[in-house]
Structure 1
Amino acid sequence: MTAWRAATLGSGTALSLALCGCGAGRAPLEPPPASQQEDMWRHLATDADRTRLRGWRGAWVTAAAKARAADPAAVAAAGALFAPDIALDRPVPPAGRYRCRVFKLGARTPGMPDFLAYPWFECRIAASAQGEAQLVKLTGSQRQVGTLYRHDDRRAVFLGTLMLADETRALAYGRDPERDLAGWATRVGDGRWRIALPHPAFESLLTVIELVPVG
């Protein structure tokens, strides 16, 4: 584990501090060397999440097939949202308020639905102290919280955790594998972004978060 990753995980990450407001008076973390900045996420991601990120296409193909069989009309109506290879420039949503909704494709266990579409919730994108974009899902019983790291001109990596029920503070990334989340963020249209999370610990083979700016 690199010193940067260890320091980040040990501090609970900037996303936890932003959520609970408990970072006041604490010196900011030193950024990694310039040679590491382009793919900073590689120095932060757990081994399990690197595996999930590498295997995203297999998860997508299997999950999408199950979802189409369960509700072909809903999957077709989503258009570009569920097209795996659509990735436009500017993959990181700008700071601001967003409407967000969550789709779960492909059941992890028998008896679970293969397609779930949740209503719109509230999300926020804000800049971290290190300059990356942070996502906080503000409403709902499952709330994704994490940071978007630039990967290239068309994709960013999301690393974060899942908050449940009435919890008021996010777990530090890397502390609980069942709460850790990793995925690919892309822009799929004008004012429309998605974060695709392959093999989350709960319920689905693929979770897709759609983000649309408010106003």
Structure 2
Amino acid sequence: MRPSRCFSAATRRPRSPARTFPPTGAGPLPDRRPAVARATRRGRALAPAAALALLLAACGGNAPSPASSTPRGALPGNWRSVATAADRTRLRNWRETWLAAAARARSGGGAAALAADAPLFDLDRFLVDPVPPPGDYRCRVVKLGAQGVGTREFFSEPPYACRIDREGDLTSFAKIAGPQRPVGLIFPDPQGRAVFLGTLLLGDETRAINYGRDTARDLAGYVDRIGERRWRMVLPSPAFESMLDVVEIVPVS
């Protein structure tokens, strides 16, 4: 198997983030090019592109490559060998961020919505098998806690299409519609929860920025199963609009 090469995905960068509501020593890395080609034929090139970018997260700039900086066997399953220092901090502080964001959301008009969906908003609800199986899903993003001028303390966007696929030993996630679209990889974790690392596409962008190249686009969070055929992704401290995003993930069928 040939080692993969580093590359930077070309992307068109908007001047400001698209809004979701009106203002108020290791061996060679896996070669994932066949997966990219298959997804391109399906019209879903974003998730495999994000998978390759994440596996090559430290490539580019002055950072060492994963092959030279992580022990044998660390990739692809060990998310800690891929996550940036900033994202490890976000993950470590997720509970404090959740509590602060939820308090702001309740005081800002979201109390009834939070109380009406206890499984989604129970921060301690983690069921076994946290990684969703491959398939087509509907993803609804709920933003808790305002960040910046003109943003709401609580906002629930409509559901958009998203896709989950197997990428070798890992699972890829791509929100394929909507103004803000996370794409990336879901890593299993021995502690029971799964970990998401990815980047954010905005507006009419069609290719993902490599993870680790732009801290404003990097995303990190946890994936939990919260019910029968129901999952959520928790994204603490995103760069835009909110203090914490909760993404409800349910199958289309």
**Is 1:72 paired with 2:68?**
no
Give 1:92's aligned residue.
Answer: 131
Q: Quickly say closer, same or farther: Cα 1:50–1:103, change in 2 above 3 A.
A: same
Give distance in 2, aligned partners of 1:105 and 1:157.
20
2:242 to 183, 204, 209: 204
- Give the corresponding residue for 1:177: 215
Using a 3 Å threshold, how does the CA distance of structure 1 residues 205 and 22 change in structure 2: closer, same or farther?
closer
Distance 1:22 1:211, change over 3 A: closer
What is the Cα deviation at residue 21 of structure 1?
Answer: 9.3
Residue 107 of structure 1 aligns with an amino acid whose one-letter code is: A
Larger-Rg structure = 2
Q: Does 1:61 align with 2:99?
A: yes
Matched, 1:214 2:252: yes
Deviations 1:97-117 (A, max 9, x none): 001100100011354210000
Please give the TM-score of this superposition, normalised by the length of structure 2.
0.73
Which stretches in structure 1 are left out of the alignment for 5+ residues? Answer: 1-6
Deviation per residue, 1:127-175 (Å, 9 max, x gap): 11x3211001011011110100001363011000000111110111111
Q: Distance in 2 between matches of 1:110 and 1:21?
A: 32
Q: Please tell me whether residue 113 in structure 1 is matched to residue 152 in structure 2.
A: yes
Counterpart check, 1:161 vs 2:199:
yes
* Fraction of identical pairs, as percent: 48
Cα distance per residue 1:168-194 (max 9 Å; x no partner)? 101111111000000011101111101
Question: Which amino acid in the other structure matches residue 192 of structure 1?
Answer: R
Structure (1/2) with the larger strand percentage: 1
**Partner of residue 10, structure 1:** 6
Q: Which amino acid aligns with 2:122?
A: A
Matching of residue 139 in structure 1 with residue 135 in structure 2: no
1: distance between equivalents of 2:140 and 2:240?
17
- Unaligned 5+ segments in structure 2 are 10-31, 40-44, 57-66
For residues 29-48 of structure 1, what are the structure 2 equivalents within 5 Å? 33-34=72-73, 36=74, 40-48=78-86
3-state DSSP of counterpart to 1:10: coil
More deviation, 12-21/182-191: 12-21
8 Å CA contact retained: 1:124, 1:138:
yes
Question: If the length of structure 1 is used for normalisation, what is the TM-score?
Answer: 0.85
